[in-house]
Amino acid sequence: MRSLSATVDIDLAVSQITAFDSNVPIDLTSIFTGYGPLPAVIGTRNQTGAWDGAGQTRTVLLSDGSSAQEVLTSYERPDYFGYTVSGFTDALRLLITSANGEWWFSSTSLGQTHIKWRYGFNARSAWAVPLLWLITNVLWRSYMRQVLRLFKMQVEHEAA
């Protein structure tokens, strides 16, 4: 099936190692606070490992009472990590089979860190594509920008 993705990026005034080490194990509730009809993350459970290696899993709990399963698929400190989210229990399960997230971290010439985040929804069927396009390009991309702004504020504050 077709994948619809959004990509956002941001620069942080911290080192690449600091940005990576702060991001991967972050408390999701501190940055995924909800956006319009998109629910906030209210917690995780059943996490295997310290979230620092491919194959580790957890259940993500959302404010609308739903949940999803997340698996860390790649972990290349301090440059990249990827994950797959599946098993959605909300209405999204009717539109997608899974979603894939990827984060890239790179040092800039100014000693800062550039982060690029791509998130793709894997459509369950062709009929889901128009609605997923709308969700991805109108709601989800804006939510992603909000998440990155919150992450930037948190990490730069802690580093100061």
Residues in the chain with pLDDT values less than 50: none
Predicted local confidence at residue 109, as pLDDT: 80
Beta strands in the chain (DSSP E): 3-12, 41-45, 57-62, 67-76, 80-86, 96-107, 113-123
Q: Cα–Cα distance between 51 and 69 in angstroms, integer?
A: 14
Strands (E) across 19-90 are located at: 41-45, 57-62, 67-76, 80-86
Angle at 7 between CA 146 and CA 43, to 5 degrees: 45
> Left if phi > 0, otherwise alpha if psi is -120 to 50, otherwise beta: which for 28?
alpha
Per-residue model confidence as pLDDT tens digits over 45-87: 999 999 999 999 999 999 999 999 999 999 999 999 999 999 9
Q: How far apart are CA 141 and CA 143, in angstroms?
A: 5
Q: What is the rounded distance in angstroms from the CA atom of residue 143 to the CA atom of residue 134?
A: 13
What mean pLDDT value characterizes the chain? 96
CATH 3.30.530.20 describes domain 3-159: yes
Ordered by start, the domain boundaries in the chain are: 3-159
pLDDT at 136: 95
Residue 154 has what pLDDT?
A: 96
Residue 1, pLDDT score: 64
Q: What pLDDT sits at residue 111? A: 84
